[in-house]
C-alpha cells in the first residue's frame, strides 16, 4: 500500500477539523482540542488503512474502529459524514442537541458507523479488546475469513483508568495480534499537563505487557504510514502506537494546553485555527466537497470488498453462527433436567450451562478467576489460551471491570457471552454494567454469593445494597431466582433479550419450591404457596426472592397452622412484575398485610409491601446459621414479629 502521493489526506484532515470546531462552536459545548490534534491520524486510518463499507455497515468482516476518547465525538461524526455514512449536515449542526444523532459522546449505531458507546474513559479500550478477541475466536472457526483489525483511539484519560489497564493486560497475555491501540500522546490532561499526574514510561510498560510499541509524529503522514502500513499484513502481537500530537493544533494561544480540551475555542481562536489550516473564514461548516465525492467512489470499491467477503464459501456459515437463534430444543431439554431436592443457585447454573452449550454453539463464558466458585466454566468447553482461540471458556484473571467491558465488546460483535464473579464485586463492574444497559447490549452477568448467607467471609464479601442499586438501573433486568428451574428458565429467557441481564445466585442451597413447570418467566414472579381462607382477601401476601423464598414458605406454613390465609410470591424480577401488574391489577388478590423477606437493603420494597424483613446494615462474619439467626431470618422470628405487628 503506497502512501497517497497527492494532498488528499491533508484536505481530508482539514475538512474534519473545520466541521469539528464549527460543531463545537455552534453548540457552545464540546471538545475541539482532540479533533484538531487527531485529524491527521484519523484521516490516514479512514483513507488508507481501515476496511469498512458505509453502504454495508453491518458487514461482519469489516475492521472495527473504536473512539475510546469519546469526548472527541465531533471528529468521529465529521469523519463518518465525509466518508459516506448516514450522517447529514443537519445532524452535524444539531451536535449535542436534544434527540440528535450527534450526542455529546458516541452512542452505538452501526448504520451510522458507531461500533460502541464510549465516553466514560477506558471503556472503549475494553470494548475494543472484546471485539478483537471475538475476531480471533471467529478466525479459529472460519479461517482467513476473519483477518480484520480492531483499531482503538484513546487518550491519557483512557490509559489512566483501571478498566483499560485490565483489558490491555489480558489482550497482551492472549496475544491479540489484530488489536491496534493508538494513544493520542499529547501530554495534556483536562486539569493541566500529564507530567502533573503521571510519569510512567508507557512504552516500556506495554512492551513488558507483550505489545509491539511504536512512536510516531501524529502530524506527519509519512511517519504514520511507516508504522501502520506494514501492520495490515505483518502484525505479530498487539500494537500500541504513541502518536505525538498537539492538542488544539493551530490555535495560537490554546494549542498544546489544557485550555484547548473541553470548551469552545471562542471567536478569536476559531479564526486563528482556520487561518492556520487554510479553512475559509467566511463559511461556517465548510468542508471540501471533493473529499465526500471521492469517498463516494471509494465506497463502491468498499462495497465490492464486502460482497466478495459474503461470497466466501464459509461466509454464510459464519453469519449463521453469529445470528444463531435460540433453540426450541434447548427450552425443552431445560424442562427435563432432573434437579436434586436441594441445590444452590450456582450449582443450578453449573447443571444448566452444558445444556445451553450443547444447543447454542455461539455461547461463551468468562470468569474473573472464580469459575470454580461461581460455576461458570462450561464442562468440556475448552479454555481459550494465548494464541489458541478454539475454546469456549475465557479466564479473565482478577480483572472484574476489564472482564465486563471486554464481554460487552464481544456481545457487540455478535458472540453470546456470560460472565461470572461474586455479587459484591459488581461494584467493580458497575460502569460497564451501566454502559451495557445504555447500549442495549445483551451481556449476561452472573453474580453468585448473593447474601449474608455466604457466611464466614463477612461484610467485605456480603452484598447488602447491591440488589436495590442494580434494580434501579434502566434497561438492566435483574433476576434473583429461588429455585433451580427459575435459574435455568431465567437464563433461557435472558438469552433472548435485547438488554443486559444480571443473574444473582446463591452459594447456599435452595429448598425446592412447589412444582414450577408452568413458570412464565416474562411475568417476573411465581406463586409458590397459596392457602386461601374464606374471606375475599388474604391475611398475608409474602414477597421474597432467592433462598428467602423457601424461608417465606416455612413462615406461611406456620401462619397457616395459626388459621391465617397466606400467599407467597417469588418476585424474581421487579421490572417484569411491574409490567405484568399494569394489565392485571384487577385480578391481583388483596391482602390485609403485605410482607417482604430479602437478606438485603429494604430500599425499593415499599412498592410491594408494608412490612419488611431486611438488612439495612452491613453483614457479619459467622457461619450461615448464626448469621440467619442474628439477622432474624428464621421462621420463628418472622412469625413472632408478624404476630405482634398485626395484632397491635
346 shares a domain with 302:
no
In a domain, 318, yes or no: no
User: Domain containing 598 — which CATH number?
Assistant: 3.40.50.920
Q: Is the pLDDT of residue 435 over 50?
A: yes
Pairing mode of beta strands 611-613, 342-344: unpaired
Q: Are residues 504 and 602 in the same domain?
A: no
Question: Is there a catalytic annotation at residue 400?
Answer: yes
130, 39: one domain = yes
pLDDT band at 123 (very low <50, low <70, confident <90, very high): very high
Where does the pLDDT of residue 533 fall: very low under 50, low under 70, confident under 90, or very high at 90 and above? confident
Task: Quote the pLDDT of residue 196.
Answer: 82
Distances (CA, A) of 250 to 223, 239, 243, 255: 20, 29, 17, 6
Q: Are 110 and 57 in contact (CB under 8 A)?
A: yes
Q: What is the percentage of the chain residues whose pLDDT exceeds 90?
A: 90
Question: Domain for residue 117, yes or no?
Answer: yes
- Kindly indicate the confidence band of residue 312, based on its pLDDT and cuts at 50, 70 and 90: very high
Residue 530 phi/psi, 5-degree rounding, is -150, 95
Asked if residue 416 has pLDDT above 60, the reply is: yes
Question: H or E stretch including 378?
Answer: none
For a pLDDT cut of 70, what percent of the chain falls above it?
Answer: 98
Interatomic CA distance for residues 470 and 132, integer angstroms: 29
Per-residue pLDDT band at 514 (split at 50, 70, 90): low
Cα dist from 144 to 337, 392, 413, 497, whole Å: 39, 20, 17, 31
Do 543 and 579 reside in the same domain of the chain? Answer: yes
In this structure, the answer to whether residues 636 and 506 fall within a common structural domain is: no
Answer whether residue 2 shows pLDDT above 70.
Answer: no
Q: How far is CA 348 from the centre of its chain?
A: 25
Residues 199 and 345 in one domain: no
Judge whether 469 lies within some domain.
no
Query: CA torsion sign, 560 to 564 to 565 to 566?
Result: negative
646 pLDDT band (50/70/90 cuts)? Answer: low
Give CA–CA dist 43/12, Å, rounded: 6
Answer whether residue 397 shows pLDDT above 50.
yes
Task: Name the domain count of the chain.
Answer: 3
* Contact present, 321 and 143 (Cβ < 8 Å): no
- State the Cα–Cα distance between residues 350 and 533, nearest whole angstrom: 40
User: What is the SS3 assignment for 454?
Assistant: helix
Do 27 and 66 share a domain, yes or no? Answer: yes
Q: Are the CB atoms for 183 and 226 separated by under 8 Å?
A: no
Instruction: Give the pLDDT confidence of 11-28 residue by residue, as tens digits.
Output: 999 999 999 999 999 999
Task: Note the pLDDT of residue 33.
Answer: 95
Pairing outcome for strands 179-184 and 212-217: unpaired
Could you tell me the pLDDT band of residue 5, with boundaries at 50, 70 and 90?
very low
Residue 282, helix vs strand vs coil: coil
pTM of the model: 0.96
Alpha-carbon distance of 108 to 273, in angstroms, equals 31
CA pair distance 445, 427, nearest whole angstrom: 13
Residue-range definition of the domain harbouring residue 571: 524-647
φ and ψ at residue 193, rounded to 5 degrees: -90, 150
The CATH number covering residue 296 comes to: 3.40.50.970
Instruction: State the catalytic residue, choosing from 25, 107, 161, 400.
Output: 400
Give dist(CA 239, CA 252) in Å, integer.
Answer: 33
Is residue 232 a part of any domain in this protein?
yes
What 8-state DSSP symbol labels residue 46? Answer: I
Residue 185 has pLDDT above 90, yes or no: yes
Give pLDDT, residue 1: 42
Nearest to 236 by CA among 45, 386, 122: 386
Q: Give the DSSP per-residue string, 110-168.
A: GGGTB-S---STTHHHHHHHHHHHHHHHHHHHHGGG----EEEEE-HHHHHSHHHHHHH
- For 576, phi then psi, to 5°, come to -65, -35
Grid cell in block for residue 459: 461484610
Residues 139 and 210 in one domain: yes
**What average pLDDT does range 486-500 have in this prediction?**
97
582 and 497 part of one domain: no
Does residue 612 have a pLDDT over 80?
A: yes
* Same domain? 334 vs 300: no
Over residues 502-529, mean pLDDT: 87
Q: Are residues 14 and 61 in the same domain?
A: yes
pLDDT tier, 190 (very low <50, low <70, confident <90, very high otherwise): confident
pLDDT category at 527 given cuts 50, 70, 90 is very high
Under 8 Å between Cβ of 479 and 490: yes
* 324-337 average pLDDT score: 93
> What is the number of alpha carbons within 13 Å of residue 308 lying toward its C-beta?
10
pLDDT tier, 480 (very low <50, low <70, confident <90, very high otherwise): very high
Tell me the average pLDDT across 226-240. Answer: 96
287 close to 43: Cβ distance less than 8 angstroms: no
Q: Where do we find the cell 443473574?
A: 503
pLDDT attached to residue 168: 98
Cell of 495: 438469552
Residue 504 lies in a domain: yes
Place of cell 475492521: 63
In residues, how long is the chain?
A: 648
State yes or no: pLDDT of 647 exceeds 70: no
Q: What's the pLDDT at 583? A: 85
Cβ proximity of 183 and 241 under 8 Å = yes
Residue carrying C-alpha cell 466466501? 312
Average pLDDT taken over every residue of the chain: 94
Residues 54 and 159 both lie in one domain: yes
Contact (Cβ atoms closer than 8 angstroms) between residue 569 and residue 519? no
Whether 320 is covered by a domain: the verdict is no
The partner residues of 596 in beta bridges, in order of sequence, read: 543, 612
Report whether 488 contacts 556 (CB < 8 A): no
Does the residue 122 lie in any domain? yes
569 phi and psi angles, rounded to 5 deg: -120, 125
Q: Is residue 13 part of a domain?
A: yes
3-state SS class at 356? helix
The pLDDT confidence band at residue 517, using thresholds 50, 70 and 90, is low
Amino acid at each position: 500500500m503506497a502512501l497517497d502521493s497527492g494532498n488528499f489526506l491533508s484536505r481530508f484532515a482539514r475538512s474534519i477539523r473545520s466541521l469539528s470546531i464549527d460543531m463545537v462552536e455552534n453548540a457552545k459545548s464540546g471538545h475541539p482540542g482532540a479533533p484538531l490534534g487527531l485529524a491527521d491520524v484519523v484521516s490516514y486510518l479512514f483513507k488508507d488503512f481501515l476496511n469498512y463499507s458505509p453502504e454495508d455497515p453491518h458487514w461482519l468482516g469489516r475492521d472495527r474502529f473504536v473512539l475510546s476518547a469519546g469526548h472527541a465525538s465531533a471528529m468521529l461524526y465529521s469523519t463518518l459524514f465525509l466518508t459516506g455514512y448516514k450522517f447529514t449536515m443537519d445532524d452535524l449542526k444539531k451536535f449535542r442537541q436534544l434527540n440528535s444523532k450527534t450526542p455529546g459522546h458516541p452512542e452505538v449505531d452501526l448504520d451510522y458507523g458507531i461500533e460502541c458507546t464510549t465516553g466514560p474513559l477506558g471503556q472503549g479500550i475494553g470494548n475494543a479488546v472484546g471485539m478483537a478477541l471475538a475476531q480471533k475466536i471467529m478466525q479459529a472457526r472460519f479461517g482467513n475469513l476473519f483477518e480484520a483489525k480492531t483499531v482503538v483511539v484513546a487518550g491519557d484519560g483512557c490509559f489512566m483508568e483501571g478498566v483499560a489497564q485490565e483489558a490491555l493486560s489480558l489482550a497482551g497475555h492472549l496475544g491479540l495480534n489484530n488489536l491496534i491501540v493508538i494513544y493520542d500522546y499529547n501530554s495534556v490532561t483536562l486539569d493541566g499537563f500529564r507530567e502533573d499526574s503521571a510519569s510512567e514510561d508507557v512504552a516500556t510498560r506495554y512492551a513488558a505487557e507483550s505489545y509491539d510499541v511504536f512512536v510516531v509524529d501524529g502530524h506527519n503522514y509519512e511517519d504514520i504510514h511507516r508504522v501502520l502500513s506494514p501492520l495490515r499484513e505483518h502484525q505479530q502481537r498487539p500494537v500500541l502506537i504513541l502518536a505525538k500530537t498537539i492538542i488544539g493544533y493551530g490555535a495560537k494561544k490554546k494549542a498544546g494546553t489544557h485550555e484547548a480540551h473541553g470548551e469552545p475555542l471562542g471567536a478569536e481562536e476559531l479564526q486563528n485555527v482556520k487561518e492556520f489550516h487554510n479553512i475559509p473564514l467566511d463559511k461556517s461548516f465548510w468542508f471540501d466537497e471533493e473529499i465526500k465525492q471521492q469517498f463516494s467512489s471509494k465506497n463502491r470499491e468498499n462495497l465490492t470488498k464486502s460482497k466478495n467477503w459474503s461470497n466466501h464459501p464459509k461466509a454464510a456459515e459464519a453469519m449463521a453462527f453469529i445470528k444463531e437463534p435460540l433453540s426450541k430444543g434447548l427450552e425443552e431439554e431445560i424442562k427435563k433436567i432432573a434437579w436434586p431436592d436441594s441445590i444452590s443457585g450456582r450449582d443450578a447454573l453449573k447443571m444448566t450451562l452444558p445444556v445451553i452449550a450443547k444447543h447454542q454453539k455461539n455461547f461463551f463464558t468468562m470468569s474473573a478467576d472464580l469459575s470454580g466458585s461461581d460455576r461458570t466454566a462450561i464442562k468440556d468447553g475448552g479454555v481459550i489460551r494465548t494464541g489458541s482461540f478454539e475454546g469456549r471458556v475465557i479466564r479473565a484473571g482478577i480483572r472484574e471491570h476489564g472482564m465486563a467491558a471486554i464481554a460487552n465488546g464481544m456481545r457487540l460483535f455478535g458472540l453470546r457471552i456470560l460472565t461470572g464473579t461474586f455479587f459484591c464485586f459488581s461494584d467493580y463492574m458497575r460502569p460497564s454494567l451501566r454502559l451495557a444497559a445504555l447500549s442495549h447490549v445483551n451481556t449476561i452477568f452472573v453474580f453468585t454469593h448473593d447474601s449474608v448467607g455466604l457466611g464466614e467471609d463477612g461484610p467485605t464479601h456480603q452484598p447488602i445494597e447491591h440488589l436495590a442499586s442494580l434494580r434501579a438501573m434502566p434497561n438492566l433486568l435483574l433476576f434473583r431466582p429461588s429455585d433451580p428451574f427459575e435459574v435455568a428458565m431465567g437464563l433461557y429467557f435472558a438469552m433472548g433479550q435485547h438488554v443486559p441481564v444480571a443473574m444473582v445466585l446463591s452459594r447456599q442451597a435452595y429448598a425446592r419450591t412447589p412444582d414450577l413447570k408452568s413458570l412464565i418467566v416474562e411475568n417476573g414472579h411465581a406463586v409458590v404457596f397459596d392457602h386461601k381462607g374464606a374471606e375475599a382477601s388474604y391475611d398475608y401476601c409474602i414477597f421474597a426472592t432467592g433462598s428467602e423464598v423457601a424461608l417465606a414458605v416455612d413462615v406461611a406454613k406456620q401462619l397457616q397452622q395459626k388459621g391465617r390465609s397466606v400467599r407467597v410470591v417469588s418476585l424474581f424480577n421487579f421490572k417484569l412484575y411491574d409490567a405484568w401488574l399494569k394489565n392485571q391489577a384487577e385480578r391481583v388478590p388483596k391482602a390485609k398485610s403485605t410482607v417482604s423477606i430479602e437478606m438485603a437493603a429494604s430500599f425499593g420494597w415499599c412498592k410491594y409491601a408494608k412490612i419488611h424483613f431486611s438488612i439495612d446494615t452491613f453483614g457479619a462474619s459467622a457461619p450461615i446459621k448464626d448469621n440467619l439467626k442474628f439477622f432474624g431470618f428464621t421462621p420463628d422470628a418472622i412469625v413472632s414479629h408478624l404476630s405482634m405487628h398485626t395484632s397491635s
